[in-house]
Amino acid sequence: MIKFPIYLDNHSTTKVDPRVLEAMLPYFTEYYGNASSKSHEFGWKAEAAVEFARKQCARLVNCEPRDIIFTSGATESVNLALKGAAEANAAKGNHIITSLIEHEAVLDTCKNLESRGFRVTYLPVDEFGMVSPETLEKAITPQTILVSIMWVNNEIGTIQPIGELSEVCREKKILFHTDATQAVGKLPIDLAAMHIDLMSFSSHKIYGPKGAGALYKKGKIPRVRITPQLDGGAQEKGLRAGTLNVPGIVGFGKACEIAMTDMAADQARIKELRERLYSGLIGGVENIKLNGHPEKRINGNLNISISNIDADSLMISIKDIAVSTGSACSSESVEPSHVLTAIGIDNKLKRSTIRFGVGKFNTAEEIDYTIEKVTEKVKYLFSIMPEAKRNMKGDHASV
C-alpha cells in the first residue's frame, strides 16, 4: 500500500534511517554531556562518541580519522575550505578556479572572496555538465592557489572526472577541493588513493540528521593549511569553534557506517527504480529531454525537461508527489537554473524542467504511481494548450 505523499526529492534531503535515529536518541537524554568537558564522565562519554563517529566517517571515504573536521553541514564545510585555504595561501597567489555549475555554497563563497581581492575563473562545461581536464589545465596561472570542482551535480546528477581533475592539480602543486555532498555514500570514494586536499560532505544527504557535516582536510605531508573561520573555542583542533552537536555527529557516523555496508545493494536498487521511472515516462509522455550525462550520472537522479509544459503547473497538479525544479537551496529564487543555463538549455525549456530524486526508501509501487500520475497530468496540460507540438518526440537518451 502506498503512503502519501510520495517523496521523490532525495537530492534535497533524505529521511533519517531508523537505525540512525536509534543510535542518536541516548545522546539527547542519557549521555548528554559536552564533548569538550574533560572533568567528568558525561563529557568523556560524549567525546568518545564523537571520536567513534569520526572513525565511521573516515572509514566510508578511506582517510585517517584525524583528517575529519566536524561542521554543521556541507555549506559550512565549503566556507571553511575555500575561505580558509584562500586566506592561508594568499601570499602565494590570489587566483581560484571553479565551475559554472557549482552549488550556491561554492559560488557565493567565491563571490565573497572576489569582493576581498581574489580573482575567480568559472570554467564552462559541456552539454552534459562535464568539466574538461584540458580546460582546467589551460585556466591555471602562476597565481592559482585553489581549484574547487563538485564531484556530483545536485541538479542534473552528472559525475565529474574527479580523479583526472585532481591529478592536474597535483602536477601543478595546487590545492584541490571538491564538494562531494551528492557523492559520499552513493559512490565508492577512496581518498587515500586520490589527490584530494579538501572535501566537503553532509549527513542529511545520506539518511542522517540535518545539522551535521564534515570537511576532510588532508593531513599528510605537505599538510594542507587553512585559516579558521569561527572564533570562540579550540574545538576540532582549533579549526571549528563551537560546542559539538553530539547527537547529530553520532547520527552522521551511523549513517556513514550504514552507507558503507549497504551501498552496493542500495545503489543497484535505486538505479533500477530510476530506470523504471524514466522508461515509464518516455513511454507515456512525448517531448522529454534528459538533462545531464546519460551514463555518468548518480543513480537516483532523473532531471528531465518536457517541452511546452510549465514545470510549476505540473508540480501543482501532482501535489501528492514531492519533486523539485532544481536545487532546494535556491528554490526561493525566480532566476532560472544556472546549471541548465551552463549546459545550453534555453529559457523556455528551463521552465519545463523537473528533478526526480529517487532514494533507498522508495518502492516500485510509488514509481509506478508517479509514472501514471505524471503521464495523466502532462496529457491534460497538453490538452488545454493547443499550440503544443505533441507530434514531436523528444531526446530519449538511454539512462
Q: Which residues are catalytic?
A: 329
Cα–Cα distance measured from residue 31 to residue 29, given in angstroms and rounded to the nearest whole number: 6
- Three-state DSSP at 177 gives strand
* 235 grid coordinates: 574545538
Given CA atoms 267, 342, 319, 376 in this order, what sign does their dihedral have?
Answer: negative
How does DSSP classify residue 262?
Answer: H
How does DSSP classify residue 192?
Answer: G
Q: CA torsion, points 233, 237, 238, 244, in degrees to nearest 10?
A: -40
Sole residue written with cell 551552463:
342
| CA neighbor of 8 nearest in space, from 276, 350, 203, 218 | 276
Sole residue written with cell 564523537:
50
Q: Phi/psi zone of residue 326: left (φ > 0), alpha (ψ -120 to 50 degrees), beta?
A: left
Cα–Cα distance measured from residue 388 to residue 324, given in angstroms and rounded to the nearest whole number: 23
What is the DSSP code string of 267-283? HHHHHHHHHHHHHHHHH
Task: For the chain, state the CA radius of gyration.
Answer: 22
* 335 grid coordinates: 532566476
Cα–Cα distance measured from residue 100 to residue 105, given in angstroms and rounded to the nearest whole number: 12
| CA neighbor of 9 nearest in space, from 248, 256, 328 | 328
Residue 105 contacts residue 323 (beta carbons within 8 Å): no
Residue 171 contacts residue 133 (beta carbons within 8 Å): no
Angstrom CA distances, 297 to 60, 69, 113, 153, 232, stand at 20, 28, 30, 9, 41
